[in-house]
Amino acid sequence: MTERVLILGGGFAGTAAARALRGQGLEVTLIDQRNYHLFQPLLYQVAAGDLQAEAIATPQRRLLRGGLHFRLGRVARLRLPQRSILLDDGDILSYDYLFIALGTVTNFFGNAAIANHALQIKGMEAAEAVRSHIFSALEAASHCTDPAQQQRWLSFVIAGGGPTGVEFCAALLELLRVVLPRDYPELRLEDLQVTLVQGSAALLPGFSAPLQGQAARKLQKLGAQLRFHTHVQGFDGQMVQCQPDPAIPARTLVWTAGVTANPLAATMPGARGPGGRIIVDPHLRLPEYPEVFILGDLACSSNGEFWPQVAPFALQSARHVALVLQSQRQGRPLPPPFAYRDPGSMAVIGRFDAVCEIERWHLHWHGWSAWLLWLGLHLYHIIGTRNRLLTLLDWGTDYLRHSAAVEIIRSPPDSSDP
Amino acid sequence: MTERVLILGGGFAGTAAARALRGQGLEVTLIDQRNYHLFQPLLYQVAAGDLQAEAIATPQRRLLRGGLHFRLGRVARLRLPQRSILLDDGDILSYDYLFIALGTVTNFFGNAAIANHALQIKGMEAAEAVRSHIFSALEAASHCTDPAQQQRWLSFVIAGGGPTGVEFCAALLELLRVVLPRDYPELRLEDLQVTLVQGSAALLPGFSAPLQGQAARKLQKLGAQLRFHTHVQGFDGQMVQCQPDPAIPARTLVWTAGVTANPLAATMPGARGPGGRIIVDPHLRLPEYPEVFILGDLACSSNGEFWPQVAPFALQSARHVALVLQSQRQGRPLPPPFAYRDPGSMAVIGRFDAVCEIERWHLHWHGWSAWLLWLGLHLYHIIGTRNRLLTLLDWGTDYLRHSAAVEIIRSPPDSSDP
């Protein structure tokens, strides 16, 4: 009888694992609550109007053509002892092998007020909601007669100075500097205020100190106000409370200050690492259930090795897991234990400007050549000719015509009429 | 003092009128609840996954550059005696001249059950919701174990056989015939059922009888079931009630069976024409308030002349109204009364196939040459290089690669996480 593999999650890890298992005589089903794979590293550009969402979304069924199966659904419960999972539509699916690649969710650290009022850049609709909010804020400011309120509409706060926060901050400033003078003559560029609030002493934790400094200088040059050693403590939609003071009047808070494991991870047996991640054995298996593999952002090394929550790790973990399963089934010895090979890190800090660091070659640099490398790599990794062309078209609009690719304010479908 | 013109509505009529008034020493403000102009004739393609919504949306502020103003907002009340309008955010805007181009809304003829459960193709988000619903239905069918339920998921009913209903029906069938065999191997094309329900004896009312017959034959060849002299009477999300019987089991009803005047029209003085349209004088003015002009779908001739609710009429009415206003202000004689010049009608009835009719040259024909003309005209009228390129890219995907351009199921933003 054909052995069944269930893959939970269609991000980089889950989709790559499914494709790596193609043609091996397994019945492979990928389960996701979205019917598309999303190229998440560019999601911040959707939030900043640089890119349309459709350019970075690829239908799962297209990726899984050639014998792999897709099931749209949300996992309600894992039933590891029974080797099955329960979906929220009541269906129970059983497996011989389970790949868990459910990733992370935004971490508001239990602060309900922030969770209610802040925006986040996680998922296609959420990123589009950021863009819609930015343009709604400009519209509100443009006919606001109370100067104090107008200033709040023109004040944008970003919580978190990791890659997403820094890249979004740069993209937002580039956007506003382009759009405001041309399309909002009622508003003055000088009234804009973009503040990035970072808990630690530097932006881009993990990068080398010179590149951290370069990113901070570049954001400041673009007009950002940086507040280090500061935490956002609350937000009511009008005022961002900070620790230490002072508070920042603003109608917009974009939260990039942390992620935590998908809530289903908490229901699993065994030990947890930082951020609720699941401690795995050297082959990314759950020690208690060796038929269960943990991939991507959810996996945590048992020997203290640092595994970053990035696409290269997700892809490497998927390839390793597929190899382990293949070896097991063919009765061959297992491959050497998983070891993460760091290809380097990069972050865009403005038009034609990025920081880049390739640790194993001791390379750290920034500027247009780093940006070109970033551009080429991302374009290469976007899936499908159509999506590459859409991305190129939007980037052409952004960079060459110096305009915003997408300024559309989206509303919920039920408000379409009249 | 500069005279103020308020333009209500940013469709074809409102946007064209604003642009025609540029540079004439007037303070022109266009008011719309959307910050973009939508190329509505292609909206059915968004609903059928042929086209991404962003390809047919253009930011109003980009269109109004060069001295025209934009105000995002929804009109709550017209105050014609005071020469002002009230927006739903409480702002009151006064005018010297008012252009009302608020268009129509979907007409469910008071049937709340249909309004609650049916989908419609009016507005960007509504069209995307149709696409999302289609692909959700295919997903539901693909793991449905109850044959009766599965058949309902694979049954699509379109109410209305006008251009939108016919074009959407053809596009939906082309979509399903492409997507199903390739991406849904669990499903069988033979189980699909697409039914078009038309109240009268023929499709495409207003077209010549041979072309009506051609459209019907083409839809049937594509696999549609046509029911003439039939009205949809009810829909509970499971079963489409028809008059006369029988009912059609289906989870999807797309309603294209009628529009009616924007509800604000009912609050205005004077006489009404069919569909709640406003009877205007020969220069499209409100008889009681000659400083108020009615443009586009809302205008109804006082002498019984038929004005179709289509883009060419909207554009012609906008140009006429701008000319009348210019003549009035310059003390010149008014132009001849408005007369609609019919450029012809066309409707796409499948890949590489359209019906086309140019009455004043006595031309009626169909086939690929009609389709090519349709393609060229629509591409020409889409605003902006970027949107043309996006459209070409999507049509290339649809027609040449024979694939669906967009298969993404969208969800409300708040369900993005986890």
A4-33+73-106+259-330 with A112-257: one CATH topology?
yes
Residue A374 confidence (pLDDT) above 60:
yes
Residues A315 and A261 sit within 8 Å (Cβ to Cβ)? no
Residue A126: its chain B contacts at CB < 8 A? Answer: 413, 416-417
Residue A361, C-beta contacts closer than 8 angstroms, at least 6 positions apart: none
CB contact under 8 A, A406 and B54: yes
B250 lies within 8 A of chain A by CB: no
Contact A92, A78 (CB under 8 A): no
CATH class of the A112-257 domain in this structure: alpha beta
- Which pLDDT score, from 0 to 100, does residue A404 have? 79
Q: Does A91 touch chain B (CB under 8 A)?
A: yes
Mean pLDDT of A291-319: 95
Catalytic residues of B: 167
Q: Which helix (H) or strand (E) holds B231?
A: strand B231-235
Segment A372-379 shows an average pLDDT of 91
Residue B413 pLDDT grade (very low, low, confident, very high; cuts 50, 70, 90): low
> Which of the 8 DSSP states describes residue A272?
B
Find chain B residues with C-beta within 8 A of A182's C-beta. 65
Spell out which residues of chain A touch residue B139, defining contact as CB-CB under 8 Å.
Answer: 35, 72
What integer is the mean pLDDT of B319-329?
96
Q: What percent of chain B has pLDDT over 70?
A: 98
Nearest Cα residue to A115 out of B185, B414, B329: B414
Question: How many Å apart are CA B389 and CA A401, to the nearest integer?
Answer: 15
For residue B267, the model assigns a pLDDT of 94
> How far is the CA of B379 from the CAs of A317, B41, B135, B383, in angstroms?
46, 11, 27, 9
Examine the pLDDT at B414 and tell me if it is beyond 80.
no
DSSP B274-317: GGGPEE--TTSEETTEEEEEE-GGGEE-TT-----SSHHHHHHH
Contact status of A146 with chain B (Cβ, < 8 Å) = no
Q: Does A116 touch chain B (CB under 8 A)?
A: no
Q: Could you identify the residue written with the tokens 């990068």?
A: A207
Q: Which among A125, A99, A121, A78 is positioned nearest to A16, based on CA atoms? A: A99
Q: B148 vs chain A: nearest CA distance in angstroms?
A: 18
Best B46, B54, B93, B262 member to test A by mutation, with max A CBs in 10 Å, is: B54
φ/ψ of residue A301, rounded to 5? -70, 145
pLDDT of residue A417: 43
Closest by CA position to A170, among listed A259, A50, A61: A50
> Which of B72, B105, B407 is nearest residue A59 as measured by Cβ atoms?
B407
Cβ–Cβ contact B25 with A under 8 A: no
For B233-278, the pLDDT digits (tens) are 999 999 999 999 899 999 999 999 999 999 999 999 989 999 999 9
Q: How many CB atoms lie within 10 A of CB A402?
A: 12
Poorest-confidence range of A150-164, A289-303, A373-387, B290-304?
A: A373-387
Contact by Cβ (8 Å): B40, B46: no
Query: Which of A202, A237, A59, A94 has its CA nearest to residue B139?
Result: A59
In degrees, rounded to 5, the angle at the alpha carbon of residue A101 between the alpha carbons of residues A96 and A106 is 150
ipTM: 0.93
- Phi (first) and psi of residue B210, to 5 degrees: -60, -40
The residue of chain B with its CA nearest to that of A264 is B418
Report pLDDT for B415.
45
Nearest to B52 among A52, A120, A405 (CB): A52
From B130's Cα to the closest Cα of chain A, the distance in A is: 10
How far does the CA of residue A81 sit from the closest CA of chain B (Å)? 24
Contact B196, B226 (CB under 8 A): yes
For B74, the token pair is 């929804």
The amino acid at A194: V
Question: How confident is the model over A81-109, as pLDDT tens digits?
Answer: 999 999 999 999 999 999 999 999 999 99
- Quick one: what percent of chain A has pLDDT higher than 70? 98
Provide, as residue numbers in chain A, all residues whose Cβ is less than 8 Å from the Cβ of B135.
35
Average pLDDT over residues A396-416: 75
Concatenated DSSP letters for B52-73? -GGGGEEEHHHHTTTT-EEEE-
Q: Which of B105, B182, B390 sits opposite A393 (nearest CB)?
A: B390
Taking an 8 Å cut-off on Cβ atoms, the answer to whether B54 and A54 are in contact is yes
Q: Which residues of B touch A410 (CB under 8 A)?
A: 124-125
Q: Does B129 contact chain A (CB < 8 Å)?
A: yes
What pLDDT sits at residue A412? 65
The residue-averaged pLDDT of A107-116 equals 95
Distance in Å, alpha carbon of A212 to nearest chain B alpha carbon: 30
Chain B residues with CB-CB distance to A72 below 8 A: 136, 139, 143, 409
The yes-or-no verdict on residue B326 having pLDDT over 60 is yes
Position B175: which residue type? L
Q: How confident is the model at residue A393 (pLDDT cuts 50, 70, 90)?
A: confident
What's the rounded Cα separation, in Å, for the pair B27 and B96?
Answer: 10
Segment B75-98 shows an average pLDDT of 97
Number of cross-chain residue pairs from A and B with Cβ atoms under 8 Å apart: 131
Q: How far is B323 from chain A (nearest CA, A)?
A: 27
**Segment among A90-94, B87-91, B382-386 with least mean pLDDT:** B382-386
Put simply, whether B106 touches A (Cβ < 8 Å) is yes
- Provide the pLDDT for residue B418: 40
- Give yes or no for residue A398 having a pLDDT over 60: yes
Look at residue B1 in the predicted model and tell me its pLDDT. 81
Q: Are B188 and B177 in contact (CB under 8 A)?
A: no
What is the spatial distance between Cα A228 and Cα A111, in angstroms, rounded to a whole number?
21
User: Which is nearest to B65 in space by CA: A407, A347, A120?
Assistant: A407
Residue numbers in B near A88 (CB within 8 A): none
What is the average per-residue pLDDT within B297-314?
94
Report the C-alpha gap between B42 and A68 in whole angstroms: 34
Q: Is the per-residue pLDDT at A416 higher than 50?
A: no
**Strand ranges, E, within A133-288:** 155-159, 193-197, 224-227, 231-235, 239-243, 248-249, 252-255, 259-261, 278-279, 285-286
B52 touches chain A (CB under 8 A): yes
Q: Which of A408, A411, A414 would best serve as a mutation to test chain B binding (most B beta carbons within 10 A)?
A: A408
State the nearest Cα–Cα gap between B70 and chain A, in angstroms: 9
Q: Which residues of B touch A91 (CB under 8 A)?
A: 143
Whether residue A415 has pLDDT greater than 60 = no
Does the distance separating the beta carbons of B125 and A410 come in below 8 Å? yes
| Single-letter residue type at A286 | L
Kind plus residue range of the DSSP H or E element containing B93: strand B92-94
Asked if B57 lies within 8 A of A408 by C-beta distance, the reply is yes
Supply the pLDDT for residue B417.
43
Question: What does the domain layout of chain A look like in residue ranges?
Answer: 4-33+73-106+259-330, 112-257
Cβ distance B91 to A143 less than 8 Å, yes or no, reads: yes
CA distance, residue A61 to nearest chain B CA (Å)? 6
Higher pLDDT, A411 or B218: B218
In this prediction, residue A359 carries a pLDDT of 86
| CA dihedral sign of residues B120, B124, B127, B131 | negative
> B85 in contact with A at a CB cutoff of 8 Å?
no
Answer yes or no: do B393 and A397 touch at CB < 8 A: no
Structure confidence at residue A126 (pLDDT): 95
Distance (Å, whole) CA A235 – CA B42: 42
Sign of the torsion formed by the C-alpha atoms of A143, A147, A148 and A153: positive
Predicted confidence at residue A413, as pLDDT, reads 52
Phi-psi region of A78 (alpha: psi -120 to 50; beta: other; left: phi over 0): beta
How far is residue B359's CA from residue A176's CA, in Å, rounded to a whole number? 49
Query: A416–B61: do the CB atoms touch at under 8 Å?
Result: no
Instruction: Give B263 to chain A, closest Cα distance, Å.
Output: 8
Q: What is the CA radius of gyration of chain A?
A: 22
Query: Mean pLDDT throughout A126-150?
Result: 96
Residue from B270, B267, B211 nearest B8 by CA: B267
Which is catalytic among the residues A128, A167, A174, A357? A167
Give the model's confidence band at A170: pLDDT under 50 very low, under 70 low, under 90 confident, else very high.
very high
Q: Chain A contact for B298, CB < 8 A? A: no
Of the candidate CATH numbers 1.10.10.10, 3.40.50.1820, 3.90.1010.10, 3.50.50.60, the domain formed by A4-33+73-106+259-330 belongs to 3.50.50.60
Q: Measure the CA–CA gap between A28 and A21, rounded to whole angstroms.
A: 7
Residue A279 backbone phi and psi in degrees, to 5: -75, 125
Give the closest of B73, B143, B386 to A397, CB-based: B386
Spell out the CATH class of B112-257+344-400.
Answer: alpha beta
pLDDT class of A168 with cuts at 50, 70, 90: very high
Confidence of residue A387 (pLDDT cuts 50, 70, 90): confident
What's the CA gap between B399 and B371, in Å, rounded?
12
B159 touches A at CB < 8 Å? no
Q: How many CB atoms lie within 10 A of CB A415?
A: 12
pLDDT at A202 exceeding the cut of 70: yes
**Longest C-alpha distance within chain B, in Å?**
75
Q: Give the pLDDT confidence score for residue A304 in this predicted structure.
A: 87
Closest alpha carbon to B117 in B234, B199, B290: B234
Using 50, 70 and 90 to split pLDDT, how confident is the model at B390?
confident
A341 in contact with chain B, both atoms CB, cutoff 8 A: no
User: Are A106 and B417 in contact (CB < 8 Å)?
Assistant: yes
Provide the pLDDT confidence category of residue A22 given band limits of 50, 70 and 90: very high
Whether residue A417 lies within 8 A of chain B, CB to CB, comes out as yes
Q: Which residue has the tokens 């060229």?
A: B376
Question: Is residue A213 helix, strand or coil?
Answer: helix
Q: What local confidence, expressed as pLDDT, does residue B405 receive?
A: 81
Phi, psi at B285, each rounded to 5°: -100, 155
| Distances, alpha carbon B354 to alpha carbons A172, B155, B378, in Å | 44, 25, 13
The answer to whether A418 contacts chain B (CB < 8 Å) is yes
Nearest Cα to Cα of residue B312 among B320, B302, B304: B320
Q: What is the pLDDT of residue B412?
A: 65
User: Which residue of chain A comes nearest to B52, CA vs CA?
Assistant: A54
Order of strands, edge to edge, in the sheet holding B248-249? Answer: B231-235, B239-243, B248-249
